[in-house]
Chains A and B, each alone.
Chain A
Amino acid sequence: VTDPNDQGTPSPDAHLQAALRHAPDRDLQPPLALSARILAKARRAIAPPPWPHRFWTWLARPVPAGAFSSVLLAGFIGLMWRDGPPPEAVAPPAVAPAPQTTSVPSVPSASADPSPNAKQAVPTELLRRTQPTAAAPTQGAAVPEVVAAAPSMAESRSASASMPSALARQQASTASASPSMKGSADTMGAPSVPPDPLAAMVVAWRAGGPESAAPRRWWEALRDQTQGRWRDAEPVEGADSLLLAGPAGEPLGRLRWEPAAVRWQAAGDDRGWRAELSAGEIEQLRRTMPR
């Protein structure tokens, strides 16, 4: 007890300490759901990051980043040159020599004899362009050449026009595949930490006294056997579920045995869990379960 005449360091007051020891909140413990959240957070924090994160971290290093950007650049250039060099990269063709048009008369007249319909089909602009270099008798011969070229140009135009639609088809097929790919990507991006809904219960029993040894061992055994098998499930309800209490008699949660699984719901947590077990495992756990 502090001596009131002593101005030095006060020592603890035994009466106040005794009152504190007997206060109604002396055995206050955090709620199990809260403990479970904190323990799960700790496990998630030390779990290895998902591979996309590791990949990006690796890629952020200078050497891989340089290599990757080079590959990207090369790929881009390759894509641009896939259908041949762009027009501006090709040297301009030599101007057609004048004699080229003079050779036109050597074309057999049968093939050079254009039908009036074919002539009509040729754009007049093209006709005008060919007329100054061609003599009057060869005009008809020049026209079929242009007409013959027209379908090939049209063909190439239609091919280039059809290219976006091919790309669109390819994108559509990718898009149709994307839901599953997206799903798998989501799964891969999520931290790969198996849920451990019994962690808080094991901790609660470990905090108990020596008389808690048997229940603690049972909970640890249940936790070991169900590790990695827990899946989200409906809340545990019904008359066939067991309400289990902790070392101080506080309710820990509800447990239900099924033929091939065990169901668990912690007190204060609205989610249920289900772990599949073999019949033998269930039988052994039920037999050793503390009363």
Chain B
Amino acid sequence: MNDEPTDDQLMRAFAGGDAAAFERLYQRHAGPLYRFVRRLLGSTAAMRGDEVFQDTWARVIGARDRWSPQGAAFRTWLFTIAHRLVIDVQRRSGREVAVDADADADTEPWSPADDGLHPWSGWPAPADDPGDQAFWRAAGVRLLECLDGLPAAQKAVFLLHHDDGVSLDDAAQALQLGFETVKSRLRYAMNKLRTCMGAYLPAALPAARGEKSA
């Protein structure tokens, strides 16, 4: 039996005056949340990451008495707050128009034929094989660059779903969007990232293979 208290229990304990409960909550979610905020802001606004991260926790602290699960997981709620604050930062810095314009540019329906699935055919299996570490590290660097080119709306869906393991239902709730919209944005995001990563593959694969054999 798992004795680890749930996020909801910790949040209630914190609202009741238990500072240690907040420390445990923070310990659980600080890393993933910080990463999410930094990735969502992208390299151009990365310096605002600390501010957004701190504001997110400040909102959590301020809402401790009003917090009630109401069907949403604490983690989903936490990422919802962070996402809203990132949008606010982008709006203030004038990037929101570009973000919206980018998201709206994908008006044509997603087509399976466009799905850049084929790049994976030459890639090593996505298992944690120590021999492929160099390849995957290079792929990770490349993926962050590709993420930078993604509209924020698609990036948020992709990161929630692929990095934080949030289900599409919860992602729709966190982003306050319809399920179909979230699904569509995820498809576009994956399609663009596969294409972007596929363009990287021809150069990276031999280099990684050479490093591995060396």
Binding site for B on A (CB under 8 A): 1-2, 4-7, 9-10, 12-31, 34-35, 37-39, 41-43, 45-46, 199, 202-203, 206-207
Contact = CB atoms under 8 A, between A and B. Distances in A.
Nearest to A202: B23
A208 to B, nearest CB: 10
A38 B177 CA distance: 30
B197 A30 contact: no
Interface of B: 14, 17-19, 22-23, 26-27, 30-31, 34-35, 38-39, 50, 53-54, 57-58, 61-62, 64, 112-113, 115, 117, 120, 123, 126-127, 133, 136-137, 139-144, 161-163, 168, 183, 186-187, 190, 193-194, 197
Nearest to A25: B35
B162 A23 contact: no
Contacts of B194: 13, 16
Most chain A CB inside 10 Å of its own CB: which residue of B61, B142, B193: B61
Contact of A46 (B19, B141, B193): B19
Contact of A203 (B23, B64, B141, B168): B23
Contacts of A41: 57-58, 61
A116 to B, nearest CB: 87
B190 A19 contact: no
Contacts of A4: 112-113, 115, 117
Contacts of B168: 9
A28 B35 contact: yes
A20 B31 CA distance: 14
Given A4-B112, A46-B64, 11 more contacts: A1-B120, A4-B113, A10-B190, A12-B162, A13-B193, A15-B120, A22-B140, A34-B54, A38-B54, A38-B57, A42-B19
A22 B54 contact: no
B144 A1 contact: no
Contacts of A17: 126, 162-163
B140 A199 contact: no
A46 B14 contact: yes
B38 A16 contact: no
A207 B183 contact: no
B26 A38 contact: yes
A20 B143 CA distance: 7
Contacts, number: 134
Most chain A CB inside 10 Å of its own CB: which residue of B26, B39, B58, B117: B26
Contacts of A203: 23, 26-27, 30
Contact of A45 (B61, B144, B186): B61
Contacts of B133: 22
A7 B112 contact: yes
30 contacts: A1-B117, A5-B112, A7-B112, A10-B186, A12-B162, A13-B190, A14-B126, A15-B123, A16-B162, A17-B126, A18-B136, A19-B197, A20-B140, A22-B139, A22-B140, A24-B140, A25-B39, A28-B38, A35-B26, A38-B57, A38-B61, A39-B23, A42-B23, A42-B26, A42-B57, A42-B61, A45-B62, A46-B22, A199-B23, A206-B27
A138 to B, nearest CB: 87
Contacts of A26: 35, 140
A19 B140 contact: yes
B200 to A, nearest CB: 10
Contacts of A2: 115, 117, 190
B38 A25 contact: yes
Contacts of A199: 23
Contact of B136 (A13, A22, A28): A22
B164 to A, nearest CB: 10
Nearest to B139: A19
A24 B35 contact: no
Contacts of A24: 137, 140-141, 144
B193 A16 contact: yes
B12 to A, nearest CB: 13
A43 B14 CA distance: 9
A148 to B, nearest CB: 75
Contacts of B38: 25, 28
Contacts of B186: 10
A286 to B, nearest CB: 26
Nearest to B141: A24
Contacts of B190: 2, 10, 13, 16
Contacts of A25: 35, 38-39, 144
Contacts of B23: 39, 42, 199, 202-203
Contacts of A29: 30-31, 34
A124 B57 CA distance: 85
A211 B139 CA distance: 29
